[in-house]
Amino acid sequence: MYTIAVQAHYDSAHYLRNYEGKCSRLHGHRYVVEVALQSRDLDEAGMTYDFGDLKRDLRELADRLDHENLNEIPPFHEVETTAENQARYFFDEMKKRLPEHLADGLLYARVWETPGQWAQYGPAPTSLPAGTPPSEPRG
């Protein structure tokens, strides 16, 4: 089984509506999002999927959230802006963008709020090693 992953980042503000504490006030994060794709087979070029295509799609989604108040944009104007819900957003949107034969291989979307804390969403429980802090995305 082959697995590839890419990361992107976005800087956004948000607040939690159904939470009592400091996170109920407007604040911001430099989020990092990672998605992983798995396949049993490689294509003619010896790849699971082109890193460039996967990263382009992820960056397009991250750019929608960059320098925004998440509470004011869909779907977060109706659902909490937690890292868990952001991870699900990225998972669902990336799955729509992948070629049909690879879409079921999307393992997870993981969103870091800080280098030491993240939330992940995927179709099934996963057995992954403890996450390491994301690298600073380039370009």
Q: 110 vs 25, 44, 115, CA distance in Å?
A: 24, 29, 12
The CATH code belonging to domain 2-121 is 3.30.479.10
Enumerate residues 6+ apart whose C-beta is below 8 A from 65: 10, 12, 31, 73, 86
Block means of pLDDT (10 residues each) for the chain, 139 residues, are: 97 96 96 97 95 98 98 96 98 97 96 96 72 56
Neighbours of 98 (CB within 10 A): 18
What is the spatial distance between Cα 29 and Cα 95, in angstroms, rounded to a whole number?
25
pTM of the prediction? 0.89
pLDDT at 131: 54
